[in-house]
Copies of this chain bind each other. A is one copy, B any other.
Amino acid sequence: MNTDIPTDVMTIREMCEAYEVTPRTLRYYEAKELLTPIRIGTRRLFTRRDRARLALILRGKRFGFSLEDIRQTLDLYDRDGGLTAQRQKAYDLAVKRLAEMETQRAELDLAIADLKAELADAEAKGLVPRRAA
């Protein structure tokens, strides 16, 4: 009994400024079924849900996941939660992603340590005047 339009929606421009993306990007994500903004006539209105998803998308991208990878796990974050097979699959995938991310975290720690060592070495050799905290 609440089929009307949510009040806290944003236009495409507002979205772009809020998340530093272009309209093209948002339309592209919609085409790829990552976002599902409300359509008023032809115009798009992005809901709270869209914003949450967009944040997750952008985050995922920074970790090197593809949009397709991201799309497949996004559903897990939907609160409506039917006990569908769809959702079960999303869950399974998410478990795998979690493992990947933890692996990546370990690797990242290693890479950071390595890089720090290289920098320290370069400094020790007197190559640079940098002050590292």
| A interface residues, Cβ below 8 angstroms from B | 59-64, 76-77, 81, 83, 87-88, 91, 94-95, 97-98, 101-102, 104-105, 107-109, 111-112, 115-116, 118-119, 122, 125-128, 130, 132
Secondary structure class of chain A's binding surface, majority of residues: helix
Beta-carbon nearest neighbor of A116 in chain B: B98
CB distance from A114 to the nearest CB of B (A): 8
Among A59, A98, A115, A126, which residue has the most Cβ atoms of chain B within 10 A? A115
* Residues B59 and A128 in contact, CB atoms below 8 Å apart: no
* Residues B62 and A125 in contact, CB atoms below 8 Å apart: no
Give 17 new A-B contacts, CB below 8 A, not counting A81-B122, A94-B118.
A63-B108, A63-B111, A64-B64, A76-B118, A77-B118, A87-B127, A91-B119, A91-B122, A91-B128, A91-B130, A94-B115, A94-B119, A95-B132, A97-B115, A101-B111, A104-B108, A105-B109
